Amino acid sequence: MILRLVPDWWRRMVQAMVRVAKQVCYVGYYNDRRSYASVGYQPFTERDRYRQLEQAGKIPPPQAHPLSVVHGADLEPGAVLETDVCVIGSGAAGALMAHGLAKQGRDVLVVERGQYVEPRHFNSDEVEMIAKLYADGVFQQTEDFRFTILQGSCVGGSTTVNNAVCFDPPDRVLERWNDPAVHHAGLDLEEVRASVKAVRKFLDIGSQAGAPLNPSAVKFVAGAAGPTPVAGQLQVDPVEANIKDCLGCGYCNIGCAYGKKLSMLDTALPWAQRDFGSRVRIVSDCEVTRLRVLSGRPQRVLDARAVTPKGRQVTIRARTFVVSAGAIASSYLLRRSGIGRGLPVGRQMSFNMGSPLTAEFDDPMDAYDGLQISHYGLPHQGRGFVLETWWNPPATQAVNMPGWFEDHFDNMRRYRYLMAVGVLVGTRANAYLREALTGGPGVVFTPEAEDLRKLADGLAQVAEILFAAGARRVMANTWGYDVLTHPNQVGELYRIAGDPAYITLGTGHPQGGNALSADPERGVVGPDFRVHGFGNLYVCDASVFPSSVTVNPQLTVMSLAHYAARRIG
């Protein structure tokens, strides 16, 4: 490729411009309903199953949402909000934290920078929903523009737009976190495991085996059991998730309008207001930009300064502050507030780094018609990756579709005959946060060779499975157009995955930045989740992970919030 002959900074700039232009073109074209016939896509409301469910009275009618939320635009300029505990962020950690603290009798104010969108207003327009529910409209990138970071930005946080997949925190990860020679997190592991069980019960987390699953997953299951070099190496099962009575619309990533995904928007937050009344208040469209600190031993947060989309300044006074804004936003808030000088704030960040393979079959897959992520494959011997089936509606899938121009167009026309399996790799904690040149958080991350090798191992395993299932061809998501047509080509994936500037990489699971450790040299928060050196400032979300958990981190985040709520002073 010509780009390999030019300086790297120029190459990154060109790639960034091309990526943005491609995304805008693809989502614009394939979000238009007039394109659906050409790819063979049917919106949920036009499918036979929808009509059958509707006739059976199983489609819940749109109704007003029970949550009481104050919009930032409705606050008076210079408003001062007072509370006992201010929780910054309303996602997996913030919502569980708010519920737990209110249950203890605390008055809680939850402050969310994103919008409050009622589920009755969710729809199948991918562009509209992405604009309303995601941070930076899914254009959030690392500073070299080579790594996409997807995060929800709305009431309910990423739980509103993720796939709700739940894995228990792996024992080997928790034990490594607690190892005094490694991270020295100081967690009571038996209590953490009790919190995992409590959250599972609270959110009715269970196997989705009985749900309308991604139809293409039968190929993944058959291939994994087939006569291949990887046969017997994987535990393959339907995912467990906080989803109940799924309808199989395939819209998990743009919000469930039917109340079947038990996100924080539909569970912990409204349940907290139902059970504890005025003790739980929520403000949306209000971004906390700074925590003001009083010096002393220990230091204390005096108040929080926030701003609404209209530029109105808001002051929040509380006895206790809990930052639960997510791995990137929490670290950035602490850094810009000058908190934790001498602590590794915004350091030791990691990810579940992902890349997919797309396969074509002779018979229709119709992978869009069911639960988006339906099955996982977990190596029996811990190899640092997990495999997951997935698919998206046309506009989002077009962004992830291999090929350029005619190849891309032809692949989209084969949309019904394609399926994808993603590989997630828990990366080393070598990423860090800094102020971006354009303002806001800048994430610096370059995958290490060992992480790329694990990715290649996972992709090779997926390719073997797909070919064993009868795939005609398997395509990697790269800057070129890499198509495998025979199992003897699987080795090519090691070359492809070895170049992070060539293969397309991304994550929906940023972790770390404010690591748990009893040692302030190694972490930002102690075993009680209080920031070292502070008396009334706590952090609890994925940013406190000392390392990546590799599996989907949602249940780990929720469990730590349940665990930490009893330790908030």
Full-model pTM: 0.95
Whether pLDDT at 9 is above 60:
no
For position 145, what pLDDT does the model report?
Answer: 67
For position 137, what pLDDT does the model report?
Answer: 52
Q: Between 380 and 245, whose confidence is greater?
A: 245
**Residue 298: partners with Cβ closer than 8 Å, 6 or more residues away:** 533, 534, 535
Whether pLDDT at 54 is above 80:
yes
pLDDT digits (tens, 9 = 90+) for 441-481: 899 999 999 999 999 999 999 999 999 999 999 999 998 89
pLDDT (average), residues 278-303: 96
**Residue 93: partners with Cβ closer than 8 Å, 6 or more residues away:** 324, 540, 541, 542, 557, 558, 560, 561
For position 230, what pLDDT does the model report?
Answer: 72
pLDDT category, 26, cuts 50, 70, 90? confident
Rounded Cα distance between 153 and 548, Å, is 22
pLDDT digits (tens, 9 = 90+) for 197-241: 999 999 999 999 999 999 999 999 999 998 877 777 899 999 999
Contact 304, 330 (CB under 8 A): no
Domain 70-116+167-204+264-345+514-565: give its CATH superfamily: FAD/NAD(P)-binding domain (3.50.50.60)
**Residue 495: partners with Cβ closer than 8 Å, 6 or more residues away:** none
Q: Where are the domains of the chain?
A: 2-54+210-244+348-432+439-507, 70-116+167-204+264-345+514-565
Whether pLDDT at 14 is above 80:
no
Low-confidence winner among 11-20, 113-122, 168-177, 194-203 (lowest mean pLDDT): 11-20
Residue 138's region, left for phi above 0, alpha for psi from -120 to 50, else beta, is left
pLDDT digits (tens, 9 = 90+) for 332-350: 999 999 997 889 999 999 9
Whether pLDDT at 180 is above 60:
yes
**Residue 253 in tokens:** 């990533």
DSSP secondary structure string for all residues of 278-327: GGEEEEES-EEEEEEEE-SSSBEEEEEEEE-TT--EEEEEEEEEEE-S-H
Distance of CA 110 to the CA centre of its chain: 20
**Residue 282 in tokens:** 């929520």
For position 228, what pLDDT does the model report?
Answer: 74
pLDDT (average), residues 509-527: 97
Whether pLDDT at 436 is above 90:
no
For position 10, what pLDDT does the model report?
Answer: 55
What is the pLDDT of the chain when averaged over all its residues? 93
Rounded Cα distance between 94 and 542, Å, is 11
Whether pLDDT at 411 is above 70:
yes
